[in-house]
Structure 1
Amino acid sequence: MDTVSLIDIAGYLPENRVGADYFAQFAASDRLAENIMFRAPKFRHHIASDENAVDMAERAVAPLIERNGSELVSNVDILITHTQLPDVPVLGTGGELARRLGITPDWVVDLHNGGCASFVYMIKLARQIMQTGDASTALIVSVQNSAGQIFTQSDVRVLAQSAVPGDGAGACLLVKSQAGPVLGLECRTYPEFAGDMTAAVDPPRKYWEAGTGQLHIGFTETKIAKVFARGNRLVPEVALAVCKQIGITPDEIDTLVTNQPNRLFLRNWRDALELPAERHPDTFDECGNLFGAAIPVTLDLENRAGRIPNGSLVMMSAFAHAGDFAGAGAIRWGAAPVGV
């Protein structure tokens, strides 16, 4: 099959950088406040009030156009997007982004599932399309836009969960080439766990209906315990599955990039794979939990800092929601900035 490579990656963080003191001023008595799941990062970025998911996606894609030329992006065959909080009715993020960029891909897909592991899932889907058809280029975009919209609501910002998420977006270009080959991918679905993390409104209503309750995540101590147990297991498990698939051992991983939900998960994952902290980039204290955008944003920050030289073996691994989905992927890196 044709080799598919990741040739460039870019990220976007909104200008509004919010410190932990913003949420501290609103903190109320919350029995979950002491749970390690909700230990707040020092900072996070929030989407602007006049900004939507497509704005963020467009800003994430802009460096790719600048570095690779408008022709490559304007002729992409595949556009796949994931938006944590879909906020473009009818057309969706993918359709509107295509309109703004003036592109006409054969494939435009708004991928709703996959959550924090959606970036890996989108790469897998794009590679499958490219290897079984005529498509030769793909643009992948992940947007996390719920922090500044859901978690700053007056009734939600008092909850311990509100201080953890941050907003951001990441994008990458995939092409048929040997420049930065995707070596292996593993995605697993566990639908039996899907009901353990849900949105909640009190009093209950459909989220689009007018009402007094404000949307938030329906956490309980029992659900949190399940999330920790599954997350601790799933991220190393799928990473090890990819290691086996491509014939390497974990100590050959140069850079491990995971989703960034909290400090304990990050420590446990690198310990499970027996990797030192310097091989596992941590953006939690600057960006908070970026959900599906965490992997591309972290990759972009590390790449621009010159810490992922070409030829490095990069492992991406993440789990979604309460553990209903997990994915990992290995890349022989070929997207280091010119001159680095």
Structure 2
Amino acid sequence: MTLYSKIAGTGSYLPPKRVTNNDLAAQLAAKGIETSDEWIVSRSGISVRHYAEPAVQASDLAVEASKRALEMAGLAPNEVDLIIVATSTPDHFGGFPSTACVVQRKLGIDNGCAAVDVQAVCSGFVYAVSVADSFIKSGAHKNALVIGAEVFSRILNFEDRTTCVLFGDGAGAIVLKASDEPGILATKLHADGSHGDILCVPGNVSGGAVEGSAFLYMDGQAVFKLAVSVLEKVANEALRAADMTTSQIDWLIPHQANIRIMQGTAKKLGLPVEKMVVTVDQHGNTSAASIPLALDAAVRDGRVKPGHNVMMEGVGGGFTWGAVLARM
């Protein structure tokens, strides 16, 4: 029997603190920095983002999203035999113990299952799904919990209005189960380290102190230009790998970074915007969490139904990009 992996449950979580564009404009005005709801919406499509409280970590958001995904899948935590967390804002400086191991502990999973973090920034969830899919198809694992979780508010420079207005915190999760029915139809992953400087946190640690900047830096124009180009190409690669055409896509769920990038990608693929799931207006760019957040919203409101073909794709610092074509 051919083994496949199939999405059996989705879940998401946004921290309660909701920050509107007007809230943020007032906060920045106190520092002498001018912005407005109109300025932010016109450039990004973002109206609201959520920020985690200081004591809340990426793992806390991940646990809440995971509980909801497990409930939908009808799976008990100890039935999970693989945990992969995509995050650029891990609980611990240096990245260990991994956020995946922290999630394992907080979920009460004591079966000794594998747990690991994946770092591909905004493409992280796509990378994590591809890894989990490969493990399941190999027969090594049966029930994978795949999570994207971020607290990007921790690395934002609130004196730089070009970046601090764009990002938010949140988590999304899926349960991938071994199945005899096709689920993940194709995945394609890429990276080009020569573009690493256009989206990065350029600081590093030496002697217990940060050298350079610990804030996110982004060359918005360079990212925009590259993102639209690679997203179209990688989506078509995934379609060719699955022997499918664009007309067979029921829903496009791109990384929720910027509405103009998303609309540009849909246009290049020849897809009507009505087939694109958009949640960026309600949570901003949540990096690795954005795709599973959008997927869960569309599953729970009934847009994404069993049997639908869903194209998920993202780009992120590194520069990384990838796509997952899934049949729900």
TM-score between both structures, scaled by the size of structure 1: 0.85
Per the TM alignment, residue 117 of structure 1 is displaced from its structure 2 partner at its CA by 1.4
Shift of the 205–8 alpha-carbon distance from structure 1 to 2, 3 Å rule, reads: closer
Q: Which residue of 2 aligns with 1:336?
A: none
- Report the residue type matching 2:6 in the other structure: S
Q: For 1:179 and 1:14, locate their aligned partners in 2 and report how far apart those are by CA, in whole Å.
A: 35
Shift of the 105–239 alpha-carbon distance from structure 1 to 2, 3 Å rule, reads: farther
Shift of the 37–123 alpha-carbon distance from structure 1 to 2, 3 Å rule, reads: farther
Q: Deviations over 1:221-272 (max 9, x none)?
A: xx33321221010111100101111111112210000101112101101101
8 A contact 2:123–2:322 mirrored in 1:
yes
Q: Which blocks of at least 5 consecutive residues in structure 2 are unaligned?
A: none
8 A contact 1:47–1:145 mirrored in 2:
yes
Shift of the 192–91 alpha-carbon distance from structure 1 to 2, 3 Å rule, reads: same
| Percent of paired sites with the same residue | 25
- Report the residue type matching 1:7 in the other structure: A
Q: Which residue of 1 aligns with 2:150?
A: 144
Q: Deviations over 1:311-333 (max 9, x none)?
A: 111111111126x2111011111
Shift of the 80–37 alpha-carbon distance from structure 1 to 2, 3 Å rule, reads: farther
8 A contact 2:83–2:145 mirrored in 1:
yes
8 A contact 1:199–1:215 mirrored in 2:
yes
TM-score between both structures, scaled by the size of structure 2: 0.88
8 A contact 1:184–1:242 mirrored in 2:
yes
Kindly report which structure 2 residues correspond to 1:79-98, keeping only aligned pairs within 5 A, or say none. Answer: 79-89=83-93, 90-98=96-104
- Report the residue type matching 2:198 in the other structure: D
Per the TM alignment, residue 91 of structure 1 is displaced from its structure 2 partner at its CA by 1.5
Tell me the secondary structure at the aligned position of residue 209 of structure 2: coil
Per the TM alignment, residue 69 of structure 1 is displaced from its structure 2 partner at its CA by 4.1
Q: Which residue of 1 aligns with 2:325?
A: 330
Q: Which range moved further: 271-280 or 130-139?
A: 130-139
- Report the residue type matching 2:69 in the other structure: L
Query: Is 2:318 aligned against 1:313?
Result: no
Q: Which blocks of at least 5 consecutive residues in structure 1 are unaligned?
A: 334-340
Per the TM alignment, residue 50 of structure 1 is displaced from its structure 2 partner at its CA by 2.2
Q: Which residue of 2 aligns with 1:173?
A: 175
- Report the residue type matching 2:79 in the other structure: N
Q: For 2:42 and 2:133, locate their aligned partners in 1 and report how far apart those are by CA, in whole Å.
A: 34
Query: Is 2:311 aligned against 1:277?
Result: no
What root-mean-square deviation, in Å, do the aligned CA atoms of Structure 1 and Structure 2 show? Answer: 2.7
- Report the residue type matching 2:65 in the other structure: A
Shift of the 30–105 alpha-carbon distance from structure 1 to 2, 3 Å rule, reads: farther
Q: Deviations over 1:122-143 (max 9, x none)?
A: 1111121222243111111110
Q: For 1:105 and 1:229, locate their aligned partners in 2 and report how far apart those are by CA, in whole Å.
A: 44
Q: Which residue of 2 aligns with 1:131?
A: 137
- Report the residue type matching 2:83 in the other structure: L
Q: Which residue of 2 aligns with 1:217?
A: 216
The correspondence for 2:283, drawn from 268, 271, 287, is: 287
Q: For 1:161 and 1:207, locate their aligned partners in 2 and report how far apart those are by CA, in whole Å.
A: 29
The correspondence for 1:111, drawn from 109, 115, 118, is: 118
Kindly report which structure 2 residues correspond to 1:112-261, keeping only aligned pairs within 5 A, or say none. Answer: 112=119, 114-147=120-153, 149-151=154-156, 156-178=158-180, 181-200=183-202, 209=209, 215-219=214-218, 223-261=219-257
Q: For 1:105 and 1:272, locate their aligned partners in 2 and report how far apart those are by CA, in whole Å.
A: 45
Per the TM alignment, residue 309 of structure 1 is displaced from its structure 2 partner at its CA by 1.3
Per the TM alignment, residue 207 of structure 1 is displaced from its structure 2 partner at its CA by 11
Shift of the 109–261 alpha-carbon distance from structure 1 to 2, 3 Å rule, reads: same
Count of aligned pairs: 319
